[in-house]
Every structure is written in structure tokens, then in C-alpha cells.
Amino acid sequence: MHELSVLDEAQQLYDQLVAWRRDLHKHPEIGLEEHRTAKFVAETLRDLGYTVETGIAHTGVVGLLENGDGPVIMNRVDMDALPIQEENDAPYASEVPGMMHACGHDAHVAIGLGIATLMAQHQEAWRGTLKLIFQPGEEGMNGAEIMVNEGVLENPRPDKALAIHVWNMMPVGVIGAVPGSVMAAAERWQAELRGKGGHAAHPEDTVDPLVAAAHVVTALQTVVSRNVGAQETAVVTVGMLRSGDTFNVIPDTAELRGTIRTYDPEVRETVVTRVREIVEGTGQAMGCDVTLQLDALTPAVDNDAEVTHLVQSVITDLWGDDALDIEERTMGSEDAAFFMDEIPGCYIFIGSGPEGGEGPPHHNPHFDIEEQALVNGVALVTEALCRLMPTDAG
């Protein structure tokens, strides 16, 4: 930015960022129902001079700031909370029973508004169009996909994209920006094996779906170990197996549910095919009728090399080499992938754990963050946006 460094500027916003984040934390809203949050975001953006569109994917908000000729750069923020009862007794703990910002999206909204503030105050430092996308329903509600289907990536279409997540697995002050896949593609699958129930003393008169299901679970373990190369990455998990009610009855059915996580599209195709073949083939070999439903949830988040290198240089310029983490990737999924699939971008992990350690895990009733992460997020993204929209680019 200029005279006063972006770090100082962001640090001066600290009290404001904390106040925003704590207010949002007290008032969590479930995905696609973030009405209070969206209203607050829209009002704040309007006050800052942004052109604001609301009601995209129910409660999504887009703020546009046009500032001369230059590229269109988007920053994506997710806004939703989780159906979790908060177990912290902080003064800013959730006031909504059974609902909590346990993933840090309250921090994301505060950071997004901090970025909006600095970018509006320092239009001498950049040229182009800033598109701030506040997305509803990230937690398994397809908010990003709905927004994309409703045309959020058009008029204007962004040239590059940024997105952040506060990250309690890294200490505050460390920031992860890694080229390539950083979050996994996700599938959800569920299968029903239908056999023929009967007396537990006469299995010969039955088709036992429970034994078939046990074979399916075991056989699925060969997908990653035998079908995926050792250099590749994949996870196949059976998260639910349900069959039978008592000791002396062979049940009619068994039900299985699970997920698949992969980075590479070819590996994804292989794993999906093998899971299908094994569930159906093993179930049928054991005499069961098999129904399998396999749904693709999100693609992988694949960071663009060029944008990621720019972000890495911002991190080392602002905080030094030790602040940059180049290894943080996860088999978790994230629907920012629907934006990143179309727009080259970088998904960034902002360390929010305590100094030198890890904070409470995400999606945990004790989740909380080190609030200096708010400042770091604002400084990083603001500086990256300015470099992506330079004043000397014509």
C-alpha cells in the first residue's frame, strides 16, 4: 500500500474487527438462513461506497467497487454457522441454543469487511474492479454452487480469485499458501444391501445382508491400498453400517454410508468406479440386491501456481520467511472449489491457533480463535488484492 504499511493499517482496525467478529459469534445463523449476517454485511458495504447486490443463493451478498481500468478480482467469504451447542463461556459465546460459529466463518465475515474497508479507503493503491462475494451455506449446503448457478461469476467475470480460512491447526502468525490441490474433492455414498431375513439358527434359509456388508467394508479397504498409486492421495471411509436389531434374527437389510476424498480428477474417477464395483459386486456375490447412491459434493480446491506465488511473496514480504507454510493441505472439502474451478485463484490458511501450537479443532463445541488472525487476514488479502490490481498496469 504506502506510507503507513498495510500491516499498521490492519492493526488499527483490530478493535473494530474483534467487535464485528464477536457480535457475529453471538448471533450465529445456519446456512442459507444468514439473514441478520447478510443484512449487516450489505449495510456495511453500502456505507463504504460499494454497489451491493443481495439475495443471491437466498442470503448471499456481493459488493462491487469499480476503480478504473484493470482486472476484476474476487474475494470469497463464507458466512454460515453450525448446528452445535457452544461449550465456551466467553462473554461473546453464542446466544442461540444449538447453534455456533464453530468453523470460524464469523472471523471470515469480519476479515471480509476489514478488507472492504481498507480497499475503499485506499483506492489510490489499486486499479480495477473489486468483487467481494459473501457466500451462504458453506457447511454442506452447496451455497457456492447455487451462487455460481445463479450467475455470480458473471457481470463482471473475475480474472482471479482469493479465499481464506482461519486455521486452528496452525499457530497465529503462520499462513499457508500452497500451489496445487489443497482441499479434496468429496463424494457421499450410501448403499442398501437387501437379503432375506430369518431365524438366526437357520442361516441356510436366509440371505444374510450383515455378512455381505462386512465383506463390503473389508473389500473397500483395497481401493486405496491396491487401486491408487503410492504417490497419489485418496480416502475411502465407511462412516455408517447399520443392520439387525437382536441376537437371534438374521436381518433383511444392511445399510452403509461413507465418503470418498481425492485430489486428482483421474484418481477420483478410479476410486469412484472401484467403490461402485466393490459395493455392487460384493453385495451381489453374497446374494443380495444392492442399491447404491453416489453423489459428487465438491471438486478439489486447486490453487493456481501464479496467484499462489504472488500470495506467498506477500506473506514473506509482510511477515518474513518463517510465516509462510508451504505444506498445509487437507482431505477436508470446501465448496470454494466451485469458484476456483472456474477462476484461477488461491485458497489460503490463516493460522489462528495459539502461539506455537494448535487451537481447539474446527467443528468442536470449544472452538475459538486467536483474534490477531483477523488482522493478519485483512493485511494479507488487502495487499494481495492491491498487487493483483496494480496502478501501473495501464
What one-character DSSP code corresponds to residue 246? Answer: S
Q: Which residue is nearest to Zn ion (CB)?
A: 103
> Which spans of this chain sit near Zn ion (rule: CB under 5 A)?
103
Q: Which of 138, 159, 252, 304 is catalytic?
A: 138
189 or 349: CB nearest Zn ion: 349
CB of 147 to Zn ion, least distance (A): 16
Q: How many residues does the chain have?
A: 394
Measured from the CB atom, the residue of 85 and 273 that comes closer to Zn ion is 85
In the complex with Zn ion, the residue whose CB is nearer, 109 or 379, is 109
Which one is catalytic: 29, 34, 78, 80? 80
Report the nearest approach of Zn ion to the CB of residue 80 (Å): 9
269 is catalytic: no
Distance CA 17, CA 92 (A): 14
* Dist CA 279 CA 198 (whole Å): 23
CB of 341 to Zn ion, least distance (A): 18
Least Å from the CB of residue 103 to Zn ion:
3
Given the complex with Zn ion, which of 100 and 223 has the nearer CB atom? 100
Query: Which of 210, 1, 276 lies closest to 115 in space, CA to CA?
Result: 1
What is the closest distance, in whole angstroms, from the C-beta atom of residue 128 to Zn ion in the complex? Answer: 28
Min CB(25)–Zn ion separation in Å: 14
Q: Is 182 helix (H, G, I), strand (E, B) or coil?
A: strand
Tell me the backbone φ, ψ of residue 159, rounded to 5 degrees.
-85, -35
Is the Cβ of residue 103 or residue 350 nearer to Zn ion in the bound state?
103
236: helix, strand or coil = strand
264 in active site: no
Query: Which lies closer to Zn ion via its Cβ, residue 186 or residue 318?
Result: 186
HSE-up (13 A, CA, CB side) for residue 125: 18
Q: Where are the alpha helices (DSSP H) in 286-319?
A: 305-319
Min CB(1)–Zn ion separation in Å: 28
User: By C-alpha distance, which of 61, 59, 2, 72 is closest to 33?
Assistant: 59
Residues with Cβ < 8 Å from 70, sequence gap 6 or more? 126, 127, 128, 129, 389, 390, 393
- In our burial notation (b when 16+ CB lie closer than 10 A, e otherwise), range 321-344 reads eebbbeebbbbebbbbbbbbbebb
Q: Which residue number, 229 or 239, has a Cβ lying nearer to Zn ion?
A: 239
Between the alpha carbon of residue 88 and those of residues 150, 169, 268, 367, the distances in Å are 38, 19, 39, 8
- How many other CB atoms are there within 10 angstroms of residue 68's CB atom? 11
- Nearest distance, CB of residue 200 and Zn ion, angstroms: 43
Q: Which cell numbers hold the place of 132? A: 467481494
Cβ burial of 355 (10 Å; 0-12, 13-18, 19+) is exposed
Residue linked to cell 488479502 = 381
Q: Are 318 and 11 in contact (CB under 8 A)?
A: no
CB of 60 or CB of 128, closer to Zn ion: 60
CA angle 240, 244, 218 (to 5 degrees): 45
Catalytic residues: 80, 138
